[in-house]
Amino acid sequence: MIAGVDEAGRGPLAGPVVASAVILDPDNMPEGLRDSKKISAKKRDALALQIREKALAVGVGIVHEQDIDRSNILLATFEAMRLAVSDLGQQPDEVQVDGKFTIPDLLITQKALVGGDDLVPAISAASIIAKTTRDAMMVSYDVLFPGYGFKSHKGYGAATHMEALREHGRTPIHRRSFRPVDHTPNHNYAYHDAPQNHGRMGEIISGMYLIRQGYALLEHSYHGGNTGEIDLIASHKDQLIFVEVKSFSASGDDQAALERVTPAKQKQIAKIAEYYLQHRELEDIDCRFDIITVNFGNTKPLIHHYPDAFLPI
């Protein structure tokens, strides 16, 4: 069995590097496989669904911007590739990698193929999965960080992105080791010694957490008319999730934060959810109500996620 491996996101100034490994079924091949960069976004998304349905195995590896900054983009890319091969759930007989290099410290027979993403169907499939996975994450990050254009340029150095960096400064998903981000200040996303920012930053950190867990982020600070506001709305595995975020800056457990989501607050969240469903004309949707707590009383914010935290009456 041959596993094709490719990556997406080595060059951007923001967001993760994503790799995929794919073992195709020779008796059930998706049609139209080629280098993901040569396919329209609509066709990529359709092919990604086919690949996941028809392939014998699909693996994904993601390395985020903080780890890219700790090492470098080449080492981070290799790590993403190792994670993707490990995520296959089975060991292939050979790994074929797009590009000049094989994957270090991978104890499987390997072959590096320049231009392999347009020559080898399994590498093409990996290219499509890696790019669609990363693009979906950047579209979600656009919800958290409006004004940067992540939805369109996906973190690459487009003129609009460079202008946003100059005007607004960097975000938490920018790669601080990349130029010109390394000389760009953090104007709007500081939380150390800034308790006045903990509420807003708790929502942003919670949104980043959900995106990294595979959720698609749909809304941040959604206003439900006169009924109030919900912190985050996301989708995951055919569920619509309404998320209340509670931030605090003290040692101890989450109990006090959880108790702030009172029955009255739960009822308000349910009304906002109803408003959202009506205005999006959504019916027969499985909905879930979660709470995420963010404790800023530590050196690094501590996140706790409580799925199905309540059933509003």
240-296 pLDDT per residue, tens: 999 999 998 876 678 888 888 999 999 999 999 999 999 999 888 999 999 999 998
Task: Give the whole-angstrom CA distance, residue 140 versus residue 144.
Answer: 7
**Domain with 13 in it: what CATH number?**
3.30.420.10
Within this chain, do residues 227 and 96 fall inside the same structural domain, yes or no?
no
**Type of residue found at 118:** D
Within this chain, do residues 239 and 126 fall inside the same structural domain, yes or no?
no
Q: Mark which of 142, 163, 178 sits at the end of a domain.
A: 142
Within this chain, do residues 92 and 214 fall inside the same structural domain, yes or no?
no
CA–CA distances in Å: residue 105 to residues 102, 256, 278: 9, 47, 53
Q: Within a domain: residue 168?
A: no
Within this chain, do residues 9 and 120 fall inside the same structural domain, yes or no?
yes
pLDDT in the model for residue 313:
63
* Weakest-pLDDT range from 45-49, 200-204, 216-220, 253-257: 253-257
The pairing of beta strand 2-8 with beta strand 94-98 = parallel
pLDDT in the model for residue 244:
96
Within this chain, do residues 196 and 104 fall inside the same structural domain, yes or no?
no
Q: Within a domain: residue 212?
A: yes
- Average of per-residue pLDDT values in the chain: 93
For residue 173, the 8-state DSSP code is T
Q: Within a domain: residue 103?
A: yes
Q: Within a domain: residue 208?
A: yes
Within this chain, do residues 195 and 302 fall inside the same structural domain, yes or no?
yes
Q: Mark which of 110, 142, 174 sits at the end of a domain.
A: 142
pLDDT in the model for residue 35:
80
Within this chain, do residues 14 and 118 fall inside the same structural domain, yes or no?
yes
Within this chain, do residues 117 and 206 fall inside the same structural domain, yes or no?
no
Q: Within a domain: residue 156?
A: no
Within this chain, do residues 7 and 138 fall inside the same structural domain, yes or no?
yes
Q: Within a domain: residue 8?
A: yes
Report the Cα–Cα distance between both ends of the chain, in Å, rounded. 53
Give percent of the chain with pLDDT exceeding 70: 99
The per-residue pLDDT for range 112-151, each reduced to its tens digit, is 999 998 899 999 999 999 999 999 999 999 999 999 999 9
Helices (H) then strands (E): counts for the chain = 9, 10
Note the maximum CA span of the chain: 61
Three-state DSSP class for residue 35: coil
Higher-confidence position of 115 and 37:
115
* Torsion sign over Cα 137, 138, 143, 145: positive
Q: Within a domain: residue 173?
A: no
Whether 194 shows a pLDDT value over 80: the answer reads no
**Domain with 313 in it: what CATH number?**
3.40.1350.10
pLDDT in the model for residue 124:
95
Within this chain, do residues 100 and 223 fall inside the same structural domain, yes or no?
no
Of 1, 40, 43, nearest to 22 by C-alpha is 1
Task: Give the whole-angstrom CA distance, residue 141 versus residue 127.
Answer: 21
CA–CA distances in Å: residue 231 to residues 68, 241, 288: 29, 11, 14
Q: Within a domain: residue 150?
A: no
The domain tally of the chain equals 2
Q: Mark which of 76, 108, 142 sits at the end of a domain.
A: 142
Domain that holds residue 286: 191-313
Task: Give the whole-angstrom CA distance, residue 250 versus residue 235.
Answer: 31
Within this chain, do residues 16 and 124 fall inside the same structural domain, yes or no?
yes
The half-sphere exposure of 115 on its side-chain side, counting CA atoms within 13 A, is 1
How confident is the model over 96-108, as a mean pLDDT? Answer: 95
pLDDT in the model for residue 2:
95
Structure tokens at 73: 């983009």
SS (H, E, C) 246-269: EEECCCCCCHHHHHCCCHHHHHHH
Q: What is the pTM of this model?
A: 0.93
Within this chain, do residues 7 and 131 fall inside the same structural domain, yes or no?
yes
pLDDT in the model for residue 187:
84
The per-residue pLDDT for range 49-77, each reduced to its tens digit, is 999 999 999 999 999 999 999 999 999 99
How confident is the model over 174-179, as a mean pLDDT? Answer: 94
Task: Return the residue matching tokens 């707590």.
Answer: 293
